[in-house]
Amino acid sequence: MKKTVKLEAMDPIEIYGVGNKILTEFCSYFPHLKVVARGNELILEGKESDIAEFNIRFAELVERRHHKMNLTVYDVEDIFSGGGGGADRFRLSADAVIVHGTDGKPIRARNKTQQELIKAYFDNDLVFAIGPAGTGKTYMAIALAVRALKNREIKRIILTRPAVEAGERLGFLPGDLKDKLDPYLQPLYDALADMIPSKKLQDFMADGTIQIAPLAYMRVRTLDKACVILDEAQNTNLGQLKMFLTRMGTSAKFIVTGDATQIDLPHREDSGLLAGIKLLEGIKGIATIRFTTQDIVRHPLVTKIVRAFDAQKKPSTEAEG
């Protein structure tokens, strides 16, 4: 059976990609179908069922282009791995691959709560992810941001942390201001390095596509078309948290992560994380995902360590109920 598919009012390169890269990836899912591209027409030859399926999937690809600046091969992967189309065209299914790491391994949710975080990200513009160390809160958040950047859903990734000492003083550390601050931001660099090749990451940071900075640097900024992640938010006071959240611009996604059992402020009661979550409770477009020790994905001993320390907490310092 033969059938011709015609692209209307659209430059074929917008769908096919440079050198037909996207089209080639798309056609790889139809090994028994012969596809010939001639200008704005695709000539299909094969089984009727394969042609029908091709038309359905190809229509999803074209629909995505109407809502994005550019298509990538990741759009093709999404369409064939449960990413969906229409209003949910960028949504991931619970067990779908978020991105592939620089070593080629797929990065996906590893437990139910991480899956809830992914769902909350697509359903809301502001997500709080709170819970103990080792649950993958920040790693999942960065993976979602990297995916959005690769898919051209956003223009920038901005990662920030409060520069709060954990048993040492900034003034006593060697080097200039950047040297003093980088140790606080290193976990963010590490996560990015897992997902973006070194040279590409350097380019992104050089041109401002990816920015990593202390929280104080966020003041007076308006952050549009970006995925912005505030890590270690338990070390912000309520005023700092408000300052950060009010940086939200159009087409932005904000993710706030923190562990209220690891507050490094001089006075624990100054932490604004849980107070801020309580103030914003019930507002549409804001979600809170709570991780527990059962969600820890690091070494098995980490779960036991966290539980042992939690058992020593006084009732008055219980932070996450």
Give the residue extent of every domain in the chain.
2-88, 99-317
The pLDDT, as a whole number, for residue 121 is 94
Q: Is the pLDDT of residue 299 over 90?
A: no
The C-alpha atoms of residue 125 and residue 116 are separated, in whole angstroms, by: 15
Is the pLDDT reported for residue 74 higher than 80?
no
- Which of 9-23, 83-97, 147-161, 232-246 is predicted least confidently? 83-97
Q: Phi-psi bin for 223: left (phi > 0), alpha (psi -120 to 50), beta?
A: beta
What's the pTM? 0.68
Mean pLDDT on 201-224: 88
Pairing of strands 253-258, 106-107: unpaired
pLDDT, position 280: 96
The pLDDT, as a whole number, for residue 179 is 63
CA 235, 193, 92, 5 dihedral sign is: positive
Q: Is 90 a residue whose pLDDT tops 60?
A: no
What is the structure's pLDDT at 193?
94
**Which range has the worst mean pLDDT, 70-74, 231-235, 242-246, 260-264?**
70-74
The domains spanning 2-88 and 99-317 adopt the same CATH topology: no
- CATH topology for 2-88 is Ribosomal Protein S8; Chain: A, domain 1 (3.30.1370)
**CA 120 to the chain's CA centroid:** 11
The CATH architecture annotation of domain 99-317 reads: 3-Layer(aba) Sandwich (3.40)
Q: How far apart are the C-alpha atoms of 295 and 285, rounded to whole Å? A: 25
